[in-house]
Structure 1
Amino acid sequence: MRALGRGSLRRRITIWLLVYAAALTLAVVAQGTVVIEYVERIVWRSLLTVELDHFVERHRLEPGYRVAGTPGLRVYASTDARDAAAMPEVLRGLDEGLHDDLRVGDTEVVALVRDYGGERYTLAMDIEQFSREESRFELLTLAAALAMLLLVSLSAALGVSYLLRPLSQLAGRIGALQPARGAAEITLERGAGSELTVIADAFNDFLRRNRQFVERETTFVNTASHELRTPIAVINGAAELGLQPGADPASMREQLERIRRSAREMDHLVTLLLALAKDPAKLARSNEPLALHVLLPQVVEDHRHLTVGKSLQLNLEPLPECEIHAPPGIVRAAIGNLLRNAIENSDQGVIDIALDRSGTVTIRDPGHGLSPEQISAIYLRMARGGGESGIGLDLIARLCDHFGWRLSLQSDAGRGTTAVLQLGAG
């Protein structure tokens, strides 16, 4: 499992968190620097304005007044020859206003230039010590930002690892599944996150649909290999008899009839198997309007030849008009199999076939009948989708599951069986 590969989700989330943290840290530091610079200029302007106003007021009252008692503070008056000679070159020619980041020799100064009554004054203050303190503070801020970034990086790596651990465990459970050993399913601990529950439910639904697909394929292969042997054997036998030297036309026609009936049975069987091999939702889209009162007599006539050699009659009761939505071939095969089962399990008497307006087909045979235990066993085999009920009941039961039909059996031992197929329920 490549959980920690170059393209792993954990690595990508961690990298994006680090990029976000770095961008956020840079933005905070940049904003702090701008704010500090802005506040610094306001403070310098206010402080120097107060000092310069005080000096100008005193200088007017005392023309020879000089700033005293404030180290690093010097005022230059444009009308004073001594001041003009002593003014550093960097301060000459400055426009009116505040000027910082100036250097006089090895000293950083900030200067305020203002005009009072036509006379220009320049106030310069030594801020070298302040600049050194500011630089140390900036280094401390940078170190704190780097430490915070390192802490965020470590927290992101550990946090992402912790948050993705349930996902890794879920991936491990999926990897450890052994579908061949039975009905595999993903289980979660109590309190699992809603996201994991969604993933587990979706995967379990996929497993369920995959099992159904495999079951349909298995049913198709197993049933086809088993059930197609009989009609193929009949066709081969009839062909051999019909091709024997000296066979009379009547015998050849009889064998051809056997071949045709077997081919028709194979066609019905293949139709059923192909229907069961399809997805139920896709199969349901093949529905079309179907007149049952027209189709049912055709099905009865197709199976009347099975009564030859038996004291058995097929009685089709009066049919009301009835239309449903279903695939005609599937309906024909389902009803045909029920009717063939009734004929094969009856020796004499009358098989009644009835239809009501709701789309329910009822077939009553006078056959051997089934005991409650036998019916229960048939229903159990139908529920399991297998057993020895062959092409008859278990495949029809699967069709009912596909289309929402209902099949019920009522029987008494020695008194026949009644099969009720509700086609109008889908």
Structure 2
Amino acid sequence: MQSRRKLRFRLVVSFALFGFGLSALFAFAALNIRTRVENQLITTSLQEEVDHLNQQVLEHSDRAPSFDIVKAFSWSDRTIYKAPLTWQGLDTGVHDVFEPGPDGRMHHYKLAVRRKDGVITFMQFDVSRDELGKQQLLFSVIGAVFVFGLLSLVLGFWLSRKVLKPVSELARRLRDFRKAGKAEPLAPHFADDEVGELALALDEYSQRLTAMVERDREFNSDVSHELRTPLAVISSTTELLQGSPDLTDKLRERLKRIERSSRQATELIEALLLLSRAERRGPTRGETTEVAKVASDVIESQRPQMRDKPLEVELIVRQPVSVNAPASVLAVALTNLIGNAIKYTLEGRVTVEVSAGRIEVIDTGPGIKPEDAERLFQRGVRGEGAGGSGAGLGLAIVRRLCDLYGWDVSMRPRTNTNGAIASIAFQ
């Protein structure tokens, strides 16, 4: 996962890099311009001086020539042997010469040479001192770059804190609203700027979201109330009819199926209402729900699906397990898992096993692909291997219920034979 940098950090780094880059560019430009101007001035001055000296020698050969800023030497073609050996072969122009100076150290000289009408004139200018100044300037400029870079960093921190203070305040108020459980208008606390515009947009979004949640809550409550009433009538009516002495066994079995379906519908309504409210509710009076008992009731309610199938369903309780959740929630989850196992197993056995802290539903159906195990819990995804209708919502509801109560639901294929294993680990 790619790490996310804070906006303040990015502003500080951007400002510091901009300041450092601008300072470095300025330093480079200053040094470059200084070097170019210096070379041009030295070359022009030396050339003018050597021309002037050469002209004096031509016009007044009996007088010693005069010069101002540099050391100059003049020889003829016959006396050139008196000049330093490294100078004797130099042509007219300005040359860079490195040789020991009066102090015994190596010096860098600019040497101007003019050859004309048998007179050879040399003019020497020591640029070592100038290079020392250039080196000092370089160190000064580098130091200035780092100083300006540090100042840019400090200024970036200060500006980022000042610029982002309203954003941090907005985030703090949003966190406080989340802790308080209610939202208050944000816009009055901020100036009429970009952050204030963002706060106003958040207020409008919060109002729309609150209204939508309130409508959904009222709708869920109304639907739950309106559905529970006819279901209660169906349940009481079937209970009264079952007490009639003249009922046939076939009719009594149908009444039991109606009663079980009514109870399942009531449990499903209650579970969906809890999901819509994201409300985690335990059993009344602090009681716990026996997993094995609920599993047994679910198996009995699913037996009509086994009609005309060579299929056996077995409940194995290796260790009693109790959960702090309503029986209706657990019944909805197990009804989907056990119902799917019975639905997709055409023949063989479905085993419901209750062990330490978990329940597993093991079938001998066509099984599932390992890569499809997690995908089956998504909305609208149906399993393969058997016919039948369905919208692919059952396992998605189971996942949401388990997430609400902190349970871990999963599916995996069996390793040594056909079939699948659905399990819920209670935490």
TM-score, normalising length from structure 2?
A: 0.49
Q: Which has the larger radius of gyration?
A: 1
